Amino acid sequence: MEYRSFVDIYTEWDIVAARQLGRNEAKNSGFGTVDQARITTAISELARNIYLYAGKGRLEIERLSENGLHGIRIIASDEGPGIQDMRKVMEDGYSTSGGLGAGMPGVKRLMDGFKVDTEPGVGTTITATKWLR
């Protein structure tokens, strides 16, 4: 059975709400402290990117259960400007906002699966998964 919940991102405080939701879901799915921190941090990065670059969007959390494996999927979607140069964005230190530019490559390392669907002018959807070991 599929179980999904979400937080709409409009303000900085929605990032905190999304994080809180993620932490609870991770805890209830049986993830340990370290993985809880990884998942929460990944959500924080993706939600903040929505807030910073798209203005608004949605962060969804889905509990996964496939072939006896359990996990969590984060889906961050927006209808913002999209990403022009994916290769650059995945380089450590690339930022268009004077940030650390460590968010996107960081999320990829924090999670087990990471996928970006983006189209300039249309929007961005980022999916990141973590499996319970």
The window from 30-38, 61-69, 95-103, 117-125 that contacts Mg ion (CB under 5 A) reads 95-103
9 lines the binding site for ligand ADP (CB under 6 A): no
In this structure, how many other beta carbons lie within 10 angstroms of the beta carbon of residue 31? 23
Specify whether the CB–CB gap between 22 and 73 falls below 8 A.
Answer: no
Nearest distance from residue 117's CB to other proteins, in Å? Answer: 22
Structure tokens at 33: 């402290």
Range 74-113, binding ligand ADP (CB under 6 A): 78, 80-83, 89, 94-97, 99-104
Q: Which lies closer to ligand ADP via its Cβ, residue 68 or residue 98? A: 98
Residues that bind other proteins (CB under 8 A): 12-13, 16, 19, 33-34, 36-38, 40-41, 44-45, 48, 92, 99-100, 102-103, 105-106, 109-110
Nearest distance from residue 110's CB to ligand ADP, in Å? Answer: 12
State the number of CA atoms in the 13 A half-sphere of 121 facing the CB.
0
In this structure, how many other beta carbons lie within 10 angstroms of the beta carbon of residue 47? 25
The whole-angstrom separation of Cα 31 and Cα 23 is 9
